[in-house]
Amino acid sequence: MASRTTAAILLLALVSALVFLNAQPDEFVWESSDFIFQPAVTGDLRSALRLFLPSGWQEYGQATLEDYRPLATVTYHFDHALCGRSPRGYIWTNAAIHVVNLLLVYLLAATVLASPVPTNPSLQHSITPSLHHPITPSPHHPITPPCTHLAFLAALVFAFHPVHAEAVNWVENRSLLLGATFFLASAILFIHSEGRRWLIGASLVAFLASLFALELNVVLPAFLVAYVLCAWRAGAQQGPRRGLWPSLAGTLPFWLLAVAFFVFRHLAFGPGDTRKLVDVPFTPLTKLATVLETFAVYARLLIFPCHLSADTPFVIPTRLTLLHASVALTGLIAFVLAYFAARKGKVGPSFALLWLLLALAPVSNLIFLATRPIAEQRLYLPSVGLALLCGALVAARHSGVQRLAAAALLILCAASIHRNFLWRSDYSLWRGTAIASPDRWRAWLNLGNVYSSAGLDRRAKAQFERSLAIVRTPQACTNLARIKRRQGDLQAAALLLRSALQLQSTPQNHANLASVLVDLGDLKAAEAEYRKALKAAPDMLDAQVALGDVYRQMARFPEAIQQYDRALCLAPNRVEVHHNAGVVRKRLADDALARGDRDTASKLLGEAKKHFKAVLDADPANWPATYMLVTIYEAEGDRLSASQYYLRYKHRTAQPP
């Protein structure tokens, strides 16, 4: 048995590695690099470990409560230390974690598909079968050992399922993969604990690690309760067994840890950010219909994984339909089947059904996510239940069923390899998504972004316009306006940016419109837009600088100086701000000299001199700043310093000013 298990594990690891052998991306896909390469990741190990602290996490980029997954984020630090900014290293780490998960699925399947439950009087304290303590069958208690062949089949289903391509190939899904690792490890340790406290403790540690990787793993105690119920019910067919409530009490530490973790999150980060939630007035019926619709979509993706897309269509239902009734009835039938399977002593099928239902519940849009209601990556944990169920269904060893299973596995394997190719670059991903989901605005928008980044404005423009024809979004309006601006169509750009503001009034949208209004020469309207942006976001550096430039063009020099000084408080080393502040002060000094106010002029010239010297400290070859210092020293009457800077100026450029 040990040699067979070892051979199965090695073969599974090899097969899984081969499936993702073509996962060699040319770039970080879907803005993963922006998410990963933050100072906490690229710095030293101490700064990475500080991510576990609430204060350290809040310093990590634009992280929010919903993103608090420090364990997965810390692993990026080690990837960066080993691979730098090469995307392949990060993907290979994801693939390696997936292989580990595959082996854990095999161990879990080998345990739960063993039937029936052991009832040896010497093990009456246990309600779970164990790989470490095999039971010898007897005529009175015909107990079978763990089913290696069924576990191997279940693991192959998990290894080959194409919905995992998104989870493995998208670097940001490290939290999902790592969370599943500790989730599965915790469940296996609990099942094998048999009252041993050190295994319970190890299971709790693994559970805590899974929570620091992905907060949705808080549902683990419900899975443990489901297993206890299935095993306890199955044990009723074998003779005397431990009481139900003492058995359920073993899951109490897991419930307490789950509650403690969420209390910690709430105290550390507050109630959280609800901006990702859709603003739809759900009624109880529409909420129920939405959940059932989500179950139906995910069930289709699990059982018939065809037409996969990074942007799966989903329409919020307005009423209950026959489809929703069918889904509800199917779920009820699944519960009934799980109950009767447990009564017949078959823990595997009953637990597989409950695993599938429990894993789908948290991702079923109970809390609706507007940004992406359906995502293949969320089927990673539910697919474990499907794998267990497939192993249980093939237990009959009927030759026809085995042939059908082999054909299905080959199809799944081919689909997974094909999906890996789509995730090799942003272009291949969004081109494939646009073909699979032509009525989804996100696919055309992101494809347009790919073309725009490559400088293919004509193609990008066509994609943005197609995205706007489906749904008018502020992102598409802004991106199309950027192209119109580059093409010189400023009026069309301004119109698009006003449309973006109507859809979403953000500081950045106000600043974008203001910059186009400056190009149009409407400085008064540009000033108003920049003021609106800064009212909402006072620390918006680019808007502070741009508003100062607007005041400078309007000859409102004192106000320009105020804006530049505010910008320098935010970024003291910003070269262009120092230069512009020096230019404005020099202009005011010239006006003061013309009025005969030498005291004011001297003060302004001294301040301008500091700004231009700051420019030269950062960029010694900056000849405009060098020449401005020449004029300042001449105005002050310091001909020696003026001649020195003039020689430096002549050394850098042979052209007269």
> pLDDT digit string (tens) for 75-91?
998 998 888 888 888 99
- Is residue 608 situated within a structural domain? yes
Is residue 334 situated within a structural domain? Answer: no
Q: Which two structure tokens, joined as six digits, stand for 422?
A: 């789509």
Of 184, 169, 516, 108, nearest to 308 by C-alpha is 169
Q: How far apart are CA 381 and CA 358, in angstroms?
A: 10
pLDDT tens digits, one per residue of 524-549: 999 999 999 999 999 999 999 999 99
Residues of the domain holding 607? 585-657
User: Last residue of some domain: 391, 420, 449?
Assistant: 420
d(CA 540, CA 533): 8
Q: What is the pTM of this model?
A: 0.83
Using DSSP, how many helices (H) and how many strands (E) does the chain show? 32, 0
Task: With H, G, I as helix, E, B as strand and everything else as coil, classify residue 175.
Answer: helix
Neighbours of 484 (CB within 10 A): 22
Q: Which residues pair with 369 in a beta bridge?
A: 277
Mean pLDDT, residues 392-410 taken together: 73
State yes or no: cis peptide before 116, omega within 30 of 0. yes
Question: What's the rounded mean pLDDT across residues 219-246?
Answer: 77
Q: Alpha-carbon distance 176 to 161, whole Å? A: 16
Is residue 258 one of the residues assigned to a domain? yes
Q: How far apart are CA 46 and CA 49, in angstroms?
A: 5
pLDDT at residue 656 greater than cutoff 70: no
H helices of 273-361, where?
Answer: 284-303, 322-343, 347-360
| 401 neighbors 392 (Cβ within 8 angstroms) | no
Q: Is the dihedral of CA 257, 260, 266, 268 positive or negative?
A: negative
Q: For 292-351, how does the pLDDT look when each residue is reduced to its tens digit (9 = 90+)?
A: 999 999 999 999 998 899 999 888 898 888 988 898 898 888 888 887 877 777 888 899
Domain presence at residue 72: no
Model confidence at 63: pLDDT above 70: no
Q: Which two tokens stand for residue 511?
A: 């600043």
The enclosing domain of 620 has a CATH number of 1.25.40.10
Which secondary-structure segment (H or E) carries 138?
Answer: none
Yes or no: say if 204 and 82 are a contact pair by the CB < 8 Å rule: no
Residue 480's pLDDT band (cuts 50, 70, 90): very high
User: pLDDT higher for 573 or 270?
Assistant: 573
Q: What is the pLDDT of residue 29?
A: 87
Residue 52 has pLDDT above 70, yes or no: yes
Residue where a domain terminates, one of 396, 420, 444: 420
CA distance 632 to 644: 13
Sign, CA dihedral 499-504-510-511, equals negative
* CB under 8 A, 24+ apart: contacts of 86-91: 87/25, 87/26, 87/27, 87/28, 87/29, 87/32, 87/171, 88/24, 88/25, 90/28, 90/32, 90/36, 90/171, 90/174, 91/23, 91/24, 91/25, 91/168, 91/169, 91/171
What gap in Å lies between CA 333 and CA 324, rounded to an integer? 14
Which of 403, 420, 437 lies at the terminal end of a domain, its last residue?
420
Q: Locate tokens 């010297």: which residue?
A: 613
- d(CA 618, CA 60) in angstroms, rounded, equals 28
Q: How many domains does the chain have?
A: 2
Whether 637 is covered by a domain: the verdict is yes
Task: Tell whether 178 is covered by a domain.
Answer: yes
d(CA 74, CA 64): 16
> What value does the mean pLDDT of the chain take?
85
The predicted pLDDT at position 274 comes to 47
Q: Tens digits of per-residue pLDDT, 374-386?
A: 999 999 999 999 9
Phi-psi region of 430 (alpha: psi -120 to 50; beta: other; left: phi over 0): alpha
